[in-house]
Amino acid sequence: MDQEIGGGAARQVTPPPPPLCCLISTLSGAAPTSLDFGRRRAIQDAKRLVRARSVFSFLESVNWRLKSVLFDLIPLQEYSFSFIVSQVHWKSYCKTLSLLAFQSFGVVYGDLSTSPLYVYRNSLSGRLNGYLDETTIFGLFSLIFWTFTLVPLLKYVLIVLSADDNGEGGTFALYSLLCRHAKFSLLPNQQAADEELSTYYQPGTDRPVVSSPFKSACFSVVTSNVVPNAVLSAISGLQDPATSGLADGWILFIACVVLVGLFALQHRGTHRVAFMFAPIVMLWLFTIGAIGVYNIIHWNPRILVALSPHYIVKFFKTTGRDGWMSLGGVLLAITGTEAMFADLGHFTAASIRLAFVGVIYPCLVLQYMGQAAFLSKNIAAVNSSFYLSIPSLACITVMFITTCLMSLVIIFVWQKNILISLLFLLFFGSLEAAYLSSAVMKVPQGGWAPVALALVFMSVMYVWHYGTRRKYLFDLQNKVSMKWILNLGPSLGIMRVPGIGLIYTELVTGVPAIFSHFVTNLPAFHQVLVFVCVKSVPVPYVPADERYLIGRIGPREYRLYRCIVRYGYKDVQKDDENFENHLVMSIARFIQMEAEESASSASYESSTEGRMAVVHTTDTAGTGLVVRDPGDDAGASASLTRSSKSETLRSLQSIYELESAGSVSRRRRVRFQIDEEERIDPRVRDELSDLLEAKEAGVAYIIGHSYVKARKNSNFLKTFAINYAYSFLRKNCRGPSVTLHIPHISLIEVGMIYYV
């Protein structure tokens, strides 16, 4: 129903459903004197929201009966339109949050959910066999309950999940935060421009997490649903205590088959596997929770008193050192806790908190409590399904490292008082140190394997970092001086031939020493030279429109430029077929921007050396260029760019195009020309013409094939690390041309020895 407002009495009419814009214009066109403040505010809100494309699209899809309720039956002075839309957005947010929380059960909580299979069995085995009574069972449950409450719930859910790095979690995210806020960087390649990234101090908008919940989930290791320890414990349930059931060899074989099946499922897609395992894990949790309630009521309701930490004191008074040795079994109750923080990038902190607090925590607490109630009346059942399982040191070690890094984050990132950081470190650090000391006692029984493996990987990473840092410092200390380049003149003392030369370097400032090696050994160089640096910045993702930094080296007539391509530690460096086109458009845009700034100072020759600008264009807007029609057959005769290529060069170019019919030809299929309709300064036009002429001649990728050697006066450890270990790693790793996706036909490598 609609109501016409006029000078007289209101008249009820039933018009056909009008468009939304007509409804708003009708309301806004009424007499101003008949509108109170609430109605005026509702109209203003409606007009503003209509301008937003997302809200407009949503409202157009709403049933007209609901619209009539919104605009006619509900008084606008009581329920403003903005309030109604906010309620709609809230419902959409809750729906998305529920979907992400549902997915997290199949990805994050597999290890935690299966821990009840083996926690009591491992804790009560060994030296605690002589203390199997109700007091020990109650004390053990109290220890499990408070460990499960303090570490996963208090530390991770309430505190650590708030220390995300633009939505990413894990120890590497904490380290990345410290690199940005406390300057804990390993390589001295930071720039002031890096701090201007939208993802540096605040979350960026390049990677929408909530908008696509179905595609965001992925698995960590072995699908992170059922770990091998849980699979072994679950399969061991097939053994019959009375008849000894299946032999251990068959149990191991069946567990391996199950694990292979889990690996085989991954090709179906991570989001599909997540949705497949999520209902299984939820059904498992609700089932063991219900069983726990039954055991509490049926066997021993007095187990509720064990929630008091007083029973932990009684437990250690009774068991002493043997009780401390059993902490390795209690530790199994919180294995998988780190996955909540490590897998944060696949979900949101709110969804992980909702799943843990709403389902995981109550179901597991009830299950552990029910098991304790059952065991307190059935002591002999402890060893009936005994299967020896030795925990890994990795879990508690990662938790302890997270605690140490988190204490630094509290000081440097959150800017809190140092006393709060010390309290956090002492409280959680002492708790995890107790478990770590207990786990260390398992080293002779098999814990040495992960320790030895960790030492090997740590040694490899340290040698690689040490060699890379020494090589970078050598380049930094032996940069070519600008005075030397200026003395060479615009021709750089050699023949400048048509084409673009992309010189890859690790330096973000200055000219590397290998450039002088190029000039000395090469008889000719390209007309346009671009020093390209691909660097990693301590942020998870770099938005595409902030990825390129463009600058100039030396005077304009030298045609030397610098391009820094920035990636985050979660970005994937894919083979960009349009890199050359984007680079040319970005340099053209930089030339235009530089000319505009120079025009304001009335001097085109104003020095801008060392200045860089964030430039990225996906089209030719603002570059002074237009894309030439690929079907234009008169390109050779009506070329708008100068061409100095001889017949020999053109013949070589045709052979080059035939040999590079694959990805390289696709890189060069776009051709540009200067926009004749745009008014461009003659000197800018000349520079753009040189750039386009060089682009038409072809692009060459120049990389230094470096050999790193230790100096003769180096000690034995340094000589071994550089000449043998680091050299071995470089020879067995992918080369720069493969990592940077450089076409081999356009690649030029020049050897150089580094004495570090």
Report the C-alpha gap between 146 and 330 in whole angstroms: 11
Q: Which of 607, 594, 612 is nearest to 535 (CA)?
A: 612
Express each pLDDT in 725-745 by its tens digit. 999 998 888 777 776 777 777
Task: Quote the CA–CA distance of 483 and 2 in Å, as a whole number.
Answer: 80
Q: Residue 295 phi/psi, 5° resolution?
A: -65, -35
Q: 480 lies in a domain?
A: yes
CA gap 216, 64 in Å, rounded: 34
Q: Is residue 83 part of a domain?
A: no
Let me know if residue 722 belongs to a domain: yes
Instruction: Establish if 559 belongs to a structural domain.
Output: yes
Quick: pLDDT tens for 86-136.
Answer: 777 888 888 889 988 998 898 888 888 888 888 888 888 777 888 888 999
Tell me: pLDDT of 678 over 90.
no
- pLDDT above 70 (res 425): yes
Cα 292 to Cα 278: distance, rounded to the nearest angstrom: 21
Q: Across residues 73-86, what is the average pLDDT?
A: 52
Which tokens in the block code for residue 63? 């049933």
- The predicted-structure confidence for 223-234, as pLDDT tens digits, reads as follows 333 345 556 655
What is the rounded CA–CA span in Å between residue 253 and residue 235?
10
Residue 7: per-residue pLDDT:
37
Specify the pLDDT at position 641: 37
Three-state DSSP at 271 gives helix
In the block, residue with structure tokens 């007289």: 8
State the chain's mean pLDDT as an integer.
75
Range of the domain at 519: 460-598+611-618+679-755
Alpha helices by DSSP H, listed for 510-576, are 513-521
Q: Taking residues 488-507, what's their average pLDDT? A: 85
751, 707 Cβ separation under 8 angstroms: yes
Q: What is the pLDDT of residue 347?
A: 86
Q: How far apart (Å, rounded) are the C-alpha atoms in residues 507 and 163?
A: 31
Res. 717 pLDDT band, cuts 50 70 90: very high
Q: Which two three-digit tokens encode residue 331?
A: 């530790």
656-660 mean pLDDT: 57
pLDDT reported for residue 745: 76
- Using DSSP, state whether 232 is helix, strand or coil: helix
Is there a contact between 535 and 173 (Cβ–Cβ < 8 Å)? Answer: no
Region of residue 411 (phi > 0: left; psi between -120 and 50: alpha; otherwise: beta): alpha
Q: 């290890």: which residue's tokens?
A: 111
* Number of independent structural domains in the chain: 1
Report helix, strand or coil for 528: strand
- Find out whether 278 and 99 touch, Cβ atoms under 8 Å: no
Q: How far apart are CA 219 and CA 274, in angstroms?
A: 8
Cα–Cα dist 602/305, whole Å: 84
What is the three-class DSSP state of 200? helix
Q: How many CA atoms lie within 13 A of 434 on its CB side?
A: 17
pLDDT, position 62: 40
Task: Calculate the alpha carbon distances from 117 to 237, 368, 411, 546, 568 in Å.
Answer: 9, 10, 40, 49, 40
Q: Which residue pairs from 13-20 have beta carbons closer than 8 angstroms and sit at least 24 positions apart in sequence?
A: 17/64, 17/67, 17/68, 20/50, 20/56, 20/59, 20/60, 20/67
Give the global pTM: 0.72
Distance from C-alpha of 465 to C-alpha of 613, rounded to nearest angstrom: 30
pLDDT of residue 234: 57
Whole-Å CA distances, 437 to 133, 184, 320, 326, 400: 26, 29, 15, 11, 11
- For residue 16, give both structure tokens: 């056909």
Residue 55 is assigned to a structural domain of this protein: no
Residue 471 lies in a domain: yes
Separation of alpha carbons 560 and 608, rounded Å: 12
